[in-house]
Amino acid sequence: MLAEGRWGPEAVRIERRGRHQLPAELQPDIERAWQAACARPGVHLFDGAMLRLDAWRVADGVLHLALGETGYKDFLGSNAAHPEWFDRHGANALATPLGTSAALLTRDRRLVFGVRSPAVALYPGHAHPFGGTMDPVPRPDVFHEVLRELEEEVALAPADLAATEAVALIEDCALHQVELVFLVRCRLDQAALAARLDRAEHTALWSVAADGEGLDRTLDDPQAMTAVTRATLVAAGRVLAGDAWAERRLAADLARGVRR
């Protein structure tokens, strides 16, 4: 958990930077990782351009993000295939695109996630937030990006949503991958969302009761959820169940050796 807050569109500011070049000596390993991933049956990959998180800070209640440019091939060949490069060569050896992850709160008070398809490169079969990486437009808007992903993955239109706020910046420590987490309040119930799910990327919905008891029960029971899902539940729980719940959860996780 890198940072927590409640940031609306006016409290997230972005500095746009240029293309990030990974070290030339690492390119053969990146190419090998890419070819191996592409050779997996049923996996279809595209080296799309993405925005890289170059730097971040929180000052006076504002989240500042410096975003460069990278590509999916560089991400798969560095963060996904060789996260140890972070310790060996430093942060510049990783692509580290900034992801957007939505804690989607339904009308019937469920936090809803997707079960990742077997066709995806990372974490197939695991519960994971709806979201994705950001397109490298000249003036990126993180709120526009997470809503675009929700439209693509669950067919949600702006009229289906009540409110959206960024609540945390988190890191999947296994990949050194950073995600900006949003709490998105939806006017639909879980059943309506299930009918709209795009099953190319997710095979089913996975949900949690949006209260302290339901969150504790899920977080205490080992399940096939990603690290990003776990941190997203904790960040959303701070808003929905309160600071006291979040601090108790933090203390319990630290006692159990869960990295925060």
**Total Cβ atoms within 10 A of residue 117:** 17
**Total Cβ atoms within 10 A of residue 42:** 9
pLDDT at position 106 is 97
Closest of 183, 175, 161, 176 to residue 234, by C-alpha: 183
Distances (CA, A) of 105 to 3, 52, 147, 188: 21, 28, 14, 9
pLDDT at position 126 is 93
pLDDT at position 258 is 59
Query: DSSP letter string over 159-172?
Result: GGEEEEEEEEEEEE
Query: From first to last of its 260 residues, what are the pLDDT tens digits of the chain?
Result: 999 999 999 999 999 999 999 999 999 999 999 999 888 887 778 899 999 999 999 999 999 999 999 999 999 999 999 999 999 999 999 999 999 999 999 999 999 999 998 877 778 889 999 999 998 888 999 999 999 999 999 999 999 999 999 999 999 999 999 999 999 999 999 999 999 998 888 899 999 999 999 999 999 987 889 999 999 999 999 999 999 999 999 888 778 765 54
**Total Cβ atoms within 10 A of residue 195:** 9
**Total Cβ atoms within 10 A of residue 30:** 20
Domains recognised in the chain with CATH numbers: 3-256 (3.90.79.10)
DSSP state of 135: P
Tokens of 237: 């729980």
pLDDT at position 176 is 94
pLDDT at position 76 is 94
Tokens of 54: 């170059």
Distances (CA, A) of 195 to 31, 151, 228: 39, 13, 25
Query: DSSP letter string over 112-178?
Result: EEEEEPTTSSSSTTSEE-EEEEPP--SS--HHHHHHHHHHHHH---GGGEEEEEEEEEEEETTTTEE
Are 183 and 104 in contact, with CB atoms under 8 Å apart? no
Query: DSSP letter string over 20-54?
Result: PPPPGGGHHHHHHHHHHHHTSTT------EEEEEE
| Cα angle 78, 32, 26; round to 5 | 45
CA distance 109 to 116: 22
pLDDT at position 44 is 78
